[in-house]
Amino acid sequence: MNLLRSITNRDKTLIEIFGLIWPYLVVVVVLGGLGFAFVIGRPDFAIRGLAIAIPGIVAAIALTRIYGSGTKIPSSDLEMKLEQRQLSSIFFILYALSLVVVLISSVRPWYYFVMMTLLYTIIFVQILSKGVNQYLVLSEIILCMVNLIYSFTLKDHLYYGATDILPHLFMSQVTYLTGHTIPEYLSVTYTNFPLFHILISETSYLLNLNITTAFFVVAPLVFTVVVLFLYCIFLSTTKYVKLSLLSVALFSTLSIVVYYGMYMVTRVAAFVAFLMLIYLIYKNSEMNDSRLKILGVVVASFIVIVHQVSTPQIIAIMILFLVSELLLTNLTGLKSKFHDNNYILLLTVTFLTYWFYVAYSFTFLALTSRATHISGELTIKQDIQTGLEWIFLSQNVDTMIVTFFVFIGIGAMFWKYGNKYAAVFTMVTLFSLPLYLPNPLQTLWDVMTLFRFDRFILLVSPFIAFSMAAGILFFYNYLSSKGKRVLYAGLIISILLTGFVYPSLIGGSPEYDEVIASRTYFYSDELIGFDHVFDSVPDNSILYTDTPTSRLFENRRFSETDNLGIKYYRIDSFDVTNFTVTDGYFILRNEELDRGLLFDRTMIRGDDSLEWGYLNSNLKANNKVYSNSAIDIYEAVQ
């Protein structure tokens, strides 16, 4: 009855009323989604949907109780006997131990991630405790991010992720050697978008490092800068230190952020610039400084030239901000107005002009390639297979905890702070949910792969983290207000956060990635074998190999190749079940067979598979010219 009176209260704004009905809306949508999965004959979709349905329903129940208690974001602190100085001492001791583990281990063991989870738990306790030092906490968050990245990328293997790192290293090498951007023949996609390769090549020159080392040393440092900009964005708009710090800490632990911290490619550079631009827009709205406007124009230009696809996606997110502000201004009388649509116009005009008048070759290629793949029927992604739904659930424990807190944060923020600027971030989160959380849209190849909607996940992750932080604070205050000790509430929150952080760190790390069948890095012995290819195999030779390795060797010849001493090869595709090496060389990463080797569209997993039988019989007819513990190289019999 109290809730019904609140909903029908004429003093309530539409946003506050929406916040009150949000839990009921969540229940209706998730139950409707589960029912629809059975109607279309895909009960496996319903099982996958439990990753959202279960935490969604629990969050709805929690929200109705929070509404009944009148809970606000807490001003109370954890009642801990440990002071901030003691917590910091524990943090740095544990941090030093994690470095020792990294140094003595070839691959990060599971207990390394336990230690990193404990480090983040200490950070969360520091944030919720009284007397928090924002500069110290920010430093600790950055140190944890750097630890997670360098502990893997600076080992003696070569991380390539989704393989884009390999061609980026080559294009940076060409930029370094030639002193100019790459020719169009090497890559239509990047010849007019060269800023990332210029950055890596200049870094290599200034630090006197090779391209690969320069990339893995400097790129992660660029990525960690987002923590500072994100904190400044949230703090300048909400004026709440704890919420801002908690948002940033949660952002750094999201699996997508852990993944892209290592996989720092051009779209990640555009993401960093996007947050810089948002910060400059907000800062300029406070100061109205012409210098900030000039910097904003520079950063906007950087976004356009550093990565192609990111620009229209960033414009879409900025439009979400503009729409959210307009809605809240009209519905709640929101006084704060930070966003400036001039930058949206600047980005739109600049990117359209650049695409159609400068990078027209890329634009033609992008439009025609997508037009040829558009058909009347939608295609389900290949990894969405019946029988894998329970594995999907087990791999999304962190997603379930994120969903629980985000749903609480959305409803509670609209309910209590709908007329504050924090509600703008909440509104953006609401619009972004289909882009971030698992849902039917993400099962479609046409949407996620063809039109690259998967790239939105990183762009919206800061705002997901913000609503998650708000949900944690509301839920914590509700628990501590129910006659329980604040320490008891803090213990429950810490357990939930630990349950989120550990699987999230594991899910974003290549050693424990169970979704990608093939390993996403080359062992040191494999690199030694590749060096043999570069040293011994003649230029312009035909190479046959698996997909990741082919990206390492797909160096095309151009006018300056011979003068610069760049090796170049021809990569030929083939069918492993009907194939004979008649010319060139075959490179086999034999140690990867057990986990799976991808050859074009054929996966060979295990030396007892039928595909391996075909391939092995063909290889035996050729000369094995090199072999070590991880790689075999065969030369065709002439």
| Alpha carbons 26 and 408: distance in angstroms, whole number | 11
Q: Where are the alpha helices (DSSP H) in 452-522?
A: 456-480, 486-507
What beta strand segments (E) does 344-489 contain? none
| Alpha carbons 457 and 596: distance in angstroms, whole number | 27
Q: Are 22 and 63 in contact (CB under 8 A)?
A: yes
| Alpha carbons 280 and 299: distance in angstroms, whole number | 9
Q: Are 190 and 182 in contact (CB under 8 A)?
A: yes
pLDDT of residue 396: 87
CA 364 and chain centroid, separation = 28
Mean pLDDT of each 10-residue bin along the chain, 638 residues long: 53 83 94 88 86 94 86 58 83 96 89 95 90 93 95 89 90 92 88 93 94 92 93 91 95 94 93 94 84 92 92 92 88 70 88 91 84 68 73 87 95 89 92 87 70 85 95 88 68 90 88 62 90 90 89 82 84 79 86 78 72 79 87 83
Residue 619 CB neighbours (<10 A): 18
Tokens 């039928």 map to which residue?
Answer: 610
| Alpha carbons 360 and 364: distance in angstroms, whole number | 6
| 452 conformational bin, left if phi > 0, alpha if psi -120 to 50, beta if neither | left
pLDDT of residue 309: 87
pLDDT of residue 88: 92
Separation in Å, CA 552 to CA 104, 288, 492, 555, 593: 29, 48, 48, 8, 19
| Alpha carbons 148 and 594: distance in angstroms, whole number | 27
**Cα-flanking dihedrals φ and ψ of residue 72, to 5°?**
-120, 175
